[in-house]
Amino acid sequence: MTTQVIVLNGGSSSGKSGIVRCLQAVLPDPWLAAAIDSLVEAMPASLRASDAGIAFTAEGGVNIGSEFRALEAAWREGVAAMARAGARVIVDDVFLGGAASQERWRRALAGLDVLWVGVRCEGTVAAGREIARGDRTQGMAASQAELVHRGVAYDLEVDTTHTESLDCARAIAARTG
């Protein structure tokens, strides 16, 4: 079977978005990008700083509420529906719940050919990228660097600590059918 969905999981500032752009450039067919950051940006401002939505602590923690979870579940099902309709999709996500987050995706993507990719990056390197970006709460990258991988099973892992996004994308592309 040909890969229909590539799921990239990694902490904040680990390099997932850069890999997505490179994958879109190196893969022979068109692939859509579905990023958790885009979902957050699509939410009303009232949910981007509330107990019901998503809130970021001063130390870089992330608190998820029930309204966010409901919209996230609908988003996951929408991504799966696009893949079932014939679109190839690259998911850029942060599994804050580790294995439980992956299981939610597994249920949504049931019956599809999925390539599970862990995007690793040393916490200190990700923290430096976080500072350079300027659009993240400091501490988020370091706190998520290992947390998001706990209990998650991958088909492939890449490490952006010392490897460029394009090289990571080529390794991933080589694993798609």
Considering the candidates 29, 37, 92, 93, report the single residue annotated as catalytic.
37
Give first-to-last CA distance, the chain, whole Å: 7
DSSP assigned state of 115: E
3 state DSSP class of 91: strand
The verdict on whether 159 is a catalytic residue reads no
Q: What are phi and psi of 126, to 5 degrees?
A: -60, -35
Residue 72 neighbours by CB under 8 Å, 6+ apart: 36, 39
Rounded (5°) CA angle 14-109-105 = 45
* CA pseudo-torsion sign 148, 70, 107, 105: negative
Residues with catalytic function? 37
